[in-house]
Amino acid sequence: MGEQATVCAKVPVELKKKLATLGINVSELIRESLQSEVNRLERERLKKLAKEVSVILKKIPPEEFIESIRTTRDTR
């Protein structure tokens, strides 16, 4: 898994007791939750970038795309 860092959080005592009673692996839950949030935010960022790129690409005439593709193919 590579290098790891420790992350600490304070929770109410009652919540900690409930987690223990329910047999919840807090470390695993935290890792999964953090990874899920990172994935969500990355998807959100990529969607925003895709929209920005789409606006820019719509300004380029289709003929320029075609010429660019042909030029790229010819240089191979």
Q: Is the dihedral of CA 40, 45, 51, 57 positive or negative?
A: negative
Q: Are 29 and 20 in contact (CB under 8 A)?
A: no
What is the average pLDDT across 29-38? Answer: 97
Domain extents in the chain: 13-74
Enter the DSSP assignment of 23: T
Instruction: With CA atoms as reference, report the closest residue to 34 among 2, 3, 9.
Output: 9
pLDDT at 4: 93
What is the average pLDDT across 65-73? Answer: 87
The three-class DSSP label of residue 24 is coil
Q: Which residue has the tokens 């969500």?
A: 40
pLDDT classification of 1: cutoffs 50, 70, 90: low
pLDDT at 75: 79
